[in-house]
A and B are shown apart, each in its own frame.
Chain A
Amino acid sequence: AQTVTQSQPEMSVQEAETVTLSCTYDTSESNYYLFWYKQPPSRQMILVIRQEAYKQQNATENRFSVNFQKAAKSFSLKISDSQLGDTAMYFCAFPNTGNQFYFGTGTSLTVIP
């Protein structure tokens, strides 16, 4: 079974600064996808960014980008110009071939004004 590990239970960042959230995973598959989801206090799980393992280029969505290191099985999320609305739980997720998603335990990010 796939495993997803987020080793940072809590992090904080000053508004407008940059923060990086870490995620490692374990798989024997060669082609797969990785996701970051954000869950604010409202509970709604929101897709942040998606990376396809066969693509060399790291995915970017506005202020959010990933650093995907396939050999190291590392998939970190970088948030630039942090905003108060970025305060949330962030989950790294890894689906198996049947589209069953495995989630990490999450990182609670607080953006400090």
Chain B
Amino acid sequence: DAGVTQSPTHLIKTRGQQVTLRCSPKSGHDTVSWYQQALGQGPQFIFQYYEEEERQRGNFPDRFSGHQFPNYSSELNVNALLLGDSALYLCASSPPSGGADAIDTQYFGPGTRLTVL
């Protein structure tokens, strides 16, 4: 049973560039959440996708956008990169639930380490 996978593992970009990170959820999962984890900090919620729509969003600027595909995989796009965007980006998936208010365990991928120079 494949777990959550993310690509690429590492990425180096320069300020002002754009980046796309990819995530494939655990088999049978339909909801994908993205988190940003700065060095020495806990993960911070960026947004969550369900049925190809953004269902929830954390306190992140519009430079952060995403997409979910019919096969439930997801992309995170960041435009106009800043030095402060350097972080580990984690994708988490969760199984089908009883609705938007249901609490489900999130299973995390290995993350993508983004470095902005």
Contacts and interface: CB of A to CB of B under 8 A. Distances in A.
Contacts of A42: 110
B33 A101 contact: yes
Interface in B87-117: 88, 90, 92, 94, 97, 100-111, 113
B101 A98 contact: yes
A101 B48 CA distance: 10
A99 B48 contact: yes
A83 B41 CA distance: 24
A33 B45 contact: no
A99 B42 contact: no
Nearest to B41: A105
A78 interface: no
B1 to A, nearest CB: 15
Nearest to A1: B59
Given A32-B103, A45-B108, A47-B107, A98 B56 contact: yes
Interface string A7-51: 000000000000000000000000011010100001111110010
23 contacts: A37-B108, A42-B110, A43-B88, A44-B111, A45-B90, A45-B108, A50-B105, A91-B43, A95-B103, A97-B101, A98-B48, A98-B55, A99-B33, A99-B106, A100-B33, A100-B48, A100-B56, A100-B58, A101-B92, A102-B45, A104-B42, A105-B42, A106-B41
